[in-house]
Amino acid sequence: MQSTISATKRPERSINNAFASQYAKSMFLSIVGLAILVFIGTRMFTHIDLNLYGYMVGTITFIGGFFYRFIAWGERPPTKIIIKKGLKLLFRKSTAKTAVNHLAIYDFIKKRGFYRWLQHVLIGWGCVLACLVTFPLVFSWMYFTMADNGYYTVVLMGMDLINIKADGIIAWFSYNALNISAIMVITGVSMALYRRMKNMQARAEQKFVYDFLPLYLLLFISVTGLLLTVQNVFLHGWMQPQMSLIHQFSVIVTLIYLPFGKLAHIPFRPMSVFARNYREHYGDEHMKECKVCGEKFVSVEQSNDVINVLDVNEMNFNMEKDGFNLAELCLPCRRKYRIARFSGSPTHQVKVKEANQNARG
């Protein structure tokens, strides 16, 4: 009798085996990468501003919260499809234009009105400007040294970048970049609060914790930041240490809150480029015709993906008696079909379009 010896398989060696979860791995690798960048930027930790230590802790906490929220969101079947196919379509010719429209000039908000577009531009770019100044300073990727000749040396990632005159225009903008961003945010937030208080629909739909609290946090950060400049320039530093702690505390609280509230859409916003590329690319290939009215409403790819996602989530919308899936109907016919199921009358077969089915808003 021939004996068979079952060979034991060696455990697969992978970096994933060293971590309890995808979140733990992402968080660990991000902090290690951040530490390496700080090591390089500070010339082996020789230039660290301990006054900014609290901001650094708050930022690391924000990164942990962001990864937790993003990974939980990215594990959903619909999100997986958008990310996977969005990465494949990232180098389309239209990607740059889409990115500018969605991330830079907020062109999609113009359809809702100039007022709302302006408030988003002020808040969005005010926050971006503040981040571009604050984070390099917090992690000491950028700092300034000054010689006796009246010139500042801007040091970027441990390398001397440029010499600027201490009383020159570039230095003035460097000193006041955070003040400019604070004024932009205060103006934008004030416009948003005014609209929410005057617009009856907004007042009915808004909730304090989810809709108003983020605006109040941004407003508080901006006002306390401006007060630091006022105290330094006009009050000769009166109570500046106390205000500095209040400002720092408000920033840290907002950073910790950011991944779990309404402000989370800010770091998630680049994903809209993936979604737009997905719709445009597959929409150009083949459009899906509605099973009832025959009108083309989405791409065949998107319709199939929706059906597959519903199956993964064990949600069956196959109308076997009628021979179609609800995802194969355009929105007007889908609404009329629901009415037909309740009323017993085939209202979805009536060839009359809804008056507002192509409305934008």
> Residues 258, 261, 267, 268: what is their CA dihedral angle, to the nearest 10 degrees?
160
With a cut of 60, say whether residue 265 has pLDDT above it.
yes
Confidence of residue 1 (pLDDT cuts 50, 70, 90): very low
Mean pLDDT of 157-166: 85
Q: Which CATH class is domain 21-139+175-272?
A: mainly alpha
Tell me the pLDDT tens digit for each residue of 42-64: 888 888 887 888 898 888 888 88
Query: Looking at residue 101, what DSSP letter applies?
Result: I
Tokens 């400002």 sit on residue: 247
Confidence of residue 26 (pLDDT cuts 50, 70, 90): confident
Q: What is the pLDDT of residue 251?
A: 93
Which residue did the predictor score with more confidence, 316 or 240? Answer: 240
Confidence of residue 361 (pLDDT cuts 50, 70, 90): very low
Question: Which range among 119-123, 226-230, 252-256, 262-266 shows the weakest confidence by mean pLDDT?
Answer: 262-266
Those residues with Cβ within 8 angstroms of residue 356's Cβ, 6 or more apart along the chain or in another chain? none
Listed as own residue / partner, the contacts of 282-290 with beta carbons closer than 8 Å and 24 or more positions apart are 288/328, 290/328, 290/329, 290/330, 290/333
pTM given for the model:
0.81
Tell me the pLDDT tens digit for each residue of 335-359: 888 888 777 776 666 666 655 555 4
Tell me the pLDDT tens digit for each residue of 284-301: 888 988 888 888 888 999
Distance CA 83, CA 271 (A): 8
Distance CA 309, CA 77 (A): 6
Cα–Cα distances (Å) from 306 to 281, 289, 333, in that order, read 16, 15, 17
CB 63 within 8 A of CB 254: no
Mean pLDDT of 251-271: 88
Distance CA 249, CA 258 (A): 14
For the chain, the residue count is: 361
What are the DSSP calls for 179-218, one per residue?
HHHHHHHHHHHHHHHHHHHH-HHHHHH--IIIIIHHHHHH
Determine what percent of the chain is predicted with pLDDT higher than 90. 24
Instruction: Work out the number of other CB atoms within 10 angstroms of the CB of residue 113.
Output: 11
Tokens 């105290």 sit on residue: 231
With a cut of 60, say whether residue 6 has pLDDT above it.
no
Residue type, 119: Q
With a cut of 70, say whether residue 12 has pLDDT above it.
no
Distance CA 31, CA 43 (A): 18
Kindly report, as residue ranges, where domains of CATH 1.20.950 are found in the chain. Answer: 21-139+175-272
Q: What is the pLDDT of residue 41?
A: 83
Q: What is the pLDDT of residue 354?
A: 58
Helices 77-88, 300-312: crossing angle, 10 deg rounding: 140
Those residues with Cβ within 8 angstroms of residue 220's Cβ, 6 or more apart along the chain or in another chain? 250
Distance CA 59, CA 37 (A): 15
